[in-house]
């Protein structure tokens, strides 16, 4: 009986944990790209592109920078045209990589 409670709790945590990743996620593997923001004035061309990622292992340690503003600054992008996202996960929390991809001038 006690083992059933632990298994149920672990499965529940795996499913709830996957909700915060993006539009879709797989329990075993996820590898998706999805759109984010678009400059509504549409007057910025996409001549440059840059990517920044946050990585987590076992949900115990995490590192990285996926902030659109800091990615733009580090790559000398002064006007942002689009902000998109990319997510890769393995077994929901064993390995997780969430990236922000910006384009602009």
Helix, strand, or coil (residue 12): helix
Statement: the pTM of the whole predicted model exceeds 0.85: no
- Token duo for residue 66: 């996926």
- Token duo for residue 40: 């509504």
22-47 per-position pLDDT tens digit: 566 777 888 888 887 776 777 887 88
Contacts of 30 (CB under 8 A, 6+ apart): 18, 21, 24, 87, 88, 89
Are the C-beta atoms of 101 and 50 separated by less than 8 Å? yes
**Span 52-69, average pLDDT:** 92
Sign of CA dihedral 75, 77, 78, 84: negative
């Amino acid at each position: 009986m006690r083992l059933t409670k632990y298994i149920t709790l672990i499965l529940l945590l795996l499913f709830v944990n996957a909700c915060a990743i993006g539009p879709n996620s797989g329990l075993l593997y996820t590898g998706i790209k999805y759109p984010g923001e678009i400059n509504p004035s549409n007057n910025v061309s996409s001549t440059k592109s840059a990517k920044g990622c946050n990585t987590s292992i076992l949900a115990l340690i995490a590192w990285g920078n996926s902030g659109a503003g800091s990615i733009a600054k580090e790559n000398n992008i002064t006007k942002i045209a689009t902000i998109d996202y990319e997510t890769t996960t393995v077994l929901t929390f064993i390995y997780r990589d969430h990236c922000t991809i910006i384009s602009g001038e």
